[in-house]
Structure 1
């Protein structure tokens, strides 16, 4: 019996290793397919509306929906690019202002370290203008990289079109594939839950982005930072990268605040406000909006982001939560993997109670009995 259990664990471990290896090797195929599936879920209500209400045929409704989404995405990122170009065009004045504020700090460092300020500023290894401009360039490159992932995937719209056009054909294939392991009703239940999980996650994410964008913009507006609404919603857009996106997005407005304001406390204020909004988003806004619809515990969420980031980079960070939530649905309906679904989910109250509270409850009961 023990040998059989060990063999089963070893087989599961081998399957996991083989899956991860395959996912890494075939990421150029798998990642666009996953993005296409998720975006097709977003478009399905639009396609359904065009087919049922406006009586469009399936090909035309799929084409119109895909073109609409692509146009919307291109418009958003074109606007971001134009705004960033405008900001970067002012980088020379920002650099000059930052130098004026940093040089006194370097003089203080000169007194404590003995290094000459001229050596620090004009060194080939640390030239102030080059350092600041490179910093702007790095942030811009990152924002463009994380924002143009879908735009660079030329095949994604094509995949989306065929997923929407052949959706009944693919669903029939899945039913046929699962008929040996489960009934058609069970397969239909799993597909429905997978669709609901993705739809709820995406709708909730857009809603959270809007709320966070408004909060970010109001915070920057109160501090008097340039381009408050642009920076506010740009950082909200980076919620596509869970947990760290909004913090990374705060660096650019913090640099602008440092360059344009008299006190460096404005830059600290920007990071502080964005960090507070990140706290609100993670602990109140997202749980309230998505609720238990994407019931993955926080540890698994963070771990999945780290693993998928190592596997597929920025694309993996974006895909981590939708994939993990989908895996939980599949595991919950699988006899062999149900325990893993339990591990991915939110722990119930009984697993979060401390012994101290239990002992206090017993002690209070004893005192009541004595008083009687």
Structure 2
């Protein structure tokens, strides 16, 4: 009887999970700006609180000033990126010719050393730029359409932020009223505090890590003498918003610039090597030190959820994957039913590994000792 009941619960949980994923996919245009608004509201809340408590401003005025300052900083960053990127695009023809020249030399060297003809390497037919645009016209139209949706998100997200910050006390009171027992209310308060700490720690830590990585990237590019070192250094740091993949994308552009402007191919490899080393330092030392143990997701789970959320929501999903999963872990940790899932999402302590290793070593020694007795 219990076995049948357990199977029924498993089927219900699986069906509920599939339904949630389906609804999340169907309503992504509605959910994505809301999730971004929640995250950014957590980031902006200390500024709002400062204006309300220290400067004694009205709540609405405090929220409007905080959101205006935040959106102005984001807009300024995008303007600076656009200006610098336009300067690079003005020299794109020169970069293209030099890259093509070096690529042809590399192809000829490969042809001489291996005996493979160049047409077998790059193909015999040349493709003009117009033909490429023609073939990808549908993709361009889709991108423009998607850009409209992105622009609408930029409008909706600050609007949602305003209302979340304005009605924050009201929403918290609603959650308290939804729990009838006093013990449940205390548990709800604990969950809300931990959720806020997780998101605040993640966001503030991410901004700090991006600044440090941007400085390190810029120093590395300056040492190699690459053009636009600060632009590429901080652009790659900004792409840390997309974990693991952003650093790869961010290293390709300065590597191409190095290939176009430097005499040796090794400068391009040097750019990739420096960025890879900084990524190693960031992942193993900087982020754990700054972010701390509050966003305690293990690396395997982090990679899995980034892939899954990218399949679900694309690039916005990759950005939202870690904070959403970290929030779910807090909820699972306080749930009796899903506590095991919360455990498997978290970091495995070194003590756990050392104890397991000692136990296995003890068993191995015991088996070895037993075999020696049998041989005697």
Q: Would the TM-score normalized by the shorter structure come out above 0.5?
A: yes
- C-alpha separation in 1, matches of 2:181 and 2:156: 33
Shift in Å, 1:123: 2.8
Gaps of 5+ in 1: 368-372
Q: Counterpart in 2 of 1:113?
A: 116
Q: What residue in structure 1 maps to residue 373 of structure 2?
A: none
Residues in 2 aligned to 1:16 and 1:356: alpha-carbon distance in whole angstroms? 36
C-alpha deviation, 1:107, in angstroms: 2.3
Q: Secondary structure at the match of 1:98?
A: helix
Paired residue for 2:125? 123
Partner residue of 1:297?
298
Kept in 1: contact 2:222–2:229 (CA 8 A): yes
Find the aligned partners of 1:212 and 1:273 in 2 and give their Cα distance: 11
Cα distance in structure 2, aligned partners of 1:258 and 1:105: 12
Q: How far apart in 1 are the matches of 2:123 and 2:6? A: 65
* Cα-to-partner distance string for 1:40-76 (whole Å, 9 max, x where unaligned): 0011100100011111111111111111111110000
CA distance in 2, matches of 1:116, 1:55: 73
Bigger mean CA deviation after superposition, 308-317 or 355-364: 355-364
Contact 1:122 1:128 in 2 (8 A): no
Give 3-state SS (helix, strand or coil) of 2:234's partner: helix
**Secondary structure of 1:113's partner?**
coil
Separation in 2, partners of 1:356, 1:305: 30
SS in 2 for 1:250: helix
- Aligned counterpart, 2:80: 79
Aligned positions of 1:117-156 closer than 5 A? 123-125=125-127, 152-156=153-157
Deviation at 1:349, TM superposition (A): 3.4
- Give the corresponding residue for 1:66: 67
SS at match of 2:296: coil
The equivalent residue for 1:370 is none
In structure 2, what is the equivalent of residue 183 of structure 1?
184
Which residue does 1:92 correspond to in 2? Answer: 93
Match of 2:353? 352
Distance in 1 between residues matched to 2:117 and 2:37, nearest whole Å: 58
Change (3 A) 1:270 1:211: same
Partners of 2:344 and 2:360 lie apart in 1 by: 27
Query: Residue 205 of structure 1: CA displacement?
Result: 0.5
Shift of 1:4: 1.0
What's the counterpart of residue 101 of structure 1? 102
Flag the 1:248–1:354 CA change in 2: closer, same or farther, 3 A.
Answer: farther
Q: 1:17 aligned to 2:18?
A: yes
Shift of 1:105: 2.2
Q: Once the two structures are superposed, what CA deviation does each residue of 1:301-338 show, in whole Å capped at 9, x if it has no partner? A: 11110010000000000000000000000111112211
Is the 2:214–2:234 Cα contact (8 Å) retained in structure 1? Answer: yes
Unaligned runs of 5+ in 2: 370-376
1:324 aligns with 2:331: no
- Give how far 1:101 is off: 0.8
Any idea what SS the aligned residue of 1:72 has? Answer: helix
Q: Distance in 2 between matches of 1:356 and 1:337?
A: 28
Note the C-alpha offset of 1:195: 0.5
d(CA) in 2 for partners of 1:81, 1:282: 29
Q: Structure 1 residue 173 and structure 2 residue 174: aligned?
A: yes
Give the 5 Å matches for 1:199-238: 199-238=200-239
Q: CA deviation at 1:178?
A: 3.4
Other-structure match for 2:164: 163
Distance 1:179 1:238, change over 3 A: farther
Q: TM-score normalised to the size of structure 2? A: 0.86
Superposition CA RMSD, Å: 2.9
1:177 is displaced (CA, Å) by 2.4
Contact kept, 8 Å, 1:99 with 1:128, in 2: the verdict is: no
Distance change in 2, residues 1:356/1:195 (3 Å): closer
CA displacement at 1:180 relative to structure 2: 6.4
- Could you tell me which residue of structure 1 aligns to residue 340 of structure 2? 339
**TM-aligned CA deviation for residue 16 of structure 1:** 0.7
Q: What CA distance in whole angstroms lies between the structure 2 residues aligned with 1:93 and 1:130? A: 21
Provide closer, same or farther for how the CA distance between residues 209 and 116 of structure 1 changes in structure 2, counting only shifts above 3 A: closer
Q: C-alpha offsets along residues 87-134 of structure 1, whole Å, 9 cap, x if unaligned? A: 1110111011112211122323545223559x9588334x69999xx9
Q: CA deviation at 1:359?
A: 5.4
1:251 aligned onto 2:252: yes
